[in-house]
Structure 1
């Protein structure tokens, strides 16, 4: 049996504030297996986005252990964490995070070039075709609708065929029609590529499509 892609053991996160330290996560245990799709749900402020930030190595916990792809992240500096993610871990956010001075094609090709793919642009075009955007290759983000921008972001995330995809409220800024389209693409393409997925969402219907869910409340997992 393969090792889990993510292991969180007794993880806590405390952040400073003007009113004093704030506990975001408290003694959290969680794991994600290869190919598994896990939804993270809970009320606003329960620590959902913080869980993703810690699991992806974007933040360091105050206590406990985080292992990503078998590596203890506390033993890696920021540069080594970035190298660990490269080509193996992708992220999709609510606010798209496309590079504004790059076309749709260039946005998708960029991580492929960083990963050393000689055919980065042909692959980018193939993935934009997969998400229905061949007619928008040369368009810049400001020329695209919100739904189109999120489809570019999804193509960019999956073009490297990562082992693990983090998606933080990927449909949160979209209308119902675009949200449904992006959700179908998200689950369909993740399943096709074999990527495991950790999905933060407020949408019960979207969470129901995952293999299982982790419910956070006040920084603790109350159901998993």
Structure 2
């Protein structure tokens, strides 16, 4: 089976249900969610805490299998792919940025950005990583370890790491949630500029109305349902 992306939208969710076990019994996290994201489109997913936004990203990225419904990533039905095939499909084409920075603590900023490029066997990974650190204004911090960086700097490294492979689709889950106002504004500006430059689609989970307003459209969730903008 070829892993080449098929024409059409990079992401389609149809009637997706996610039910997870709990001590009190099964809990329905996603309840028949539909979502379609076009190539290069920037979609902000909004809604109150606990409404299923982060679970939506986990299912859409193939990190969690839905209980029912269909998820199509680059024209491939994820239900038909095993874990290895899903990983191959994501490699170099899907990136994720989270509220927690998830940098590898024993690697420098440069090594963190280079890591996905090396996994994808990109030539000149260190040089490309250096270019991306420069794009996020951190070339002078390339040899620093995560504990030597501020929160804003760590998130900028995480953003450079996510976009260095030039993915077709970026998932960002509350990427400014751990930052003060000044750093949040800087990271948001960089993220939208770099996503546009890469031509990537963006699925952004956020509580911040100003950040959501930067997207092409808003998809609002409530209690596991998509209530607007699918």
Instruction: List per-residue Cα deviations over 1:72-93 (Å, max 9, x = no partner).
Output: 0011111111110000000000
SS at structure 1 position matched to 2:167:
coil
Say if 2:201 is the partner of 1:185: no
Give unpaired runs (5+ residues) of structure 1.
none
CA distance in 2, matches of 1:64, 1:106: 39
Say if 2:72 is the partner of 1:67: yes
TM-score, normalised via structure 1 length: 0.99
Give unpaired runs (5+ residues) of structure 2.
1-6
Partner of 2:33: 28
Pairing partner for 1:200 from 185, 193, 205: 205
CA distance in 2, matches of 1:63, 1:21: 14
Instruction: List per-residue Cα deviations over 1:8-55 (Å, max 9, x = no partner).
Output: 111000111111111101011111010000000000010000100000
Partner of 1:105: 110
CA distance in 1, matches of 2:156, 2:141: 11
For residue 115 of structure 1, report the CA deviation from its aligned partner: 1.0
Partner of 2:19: 14
Partner of 1:169: 174
Say if 2:43 is the partner of 1:38: yes
Misfit runs of 4+, over 4 Å: none
SS at structure 2 position matched to 1:66:
strand
Question: Could you tell which deviates more after superposition, 174-183 or 107-116?
Answer: 107-116
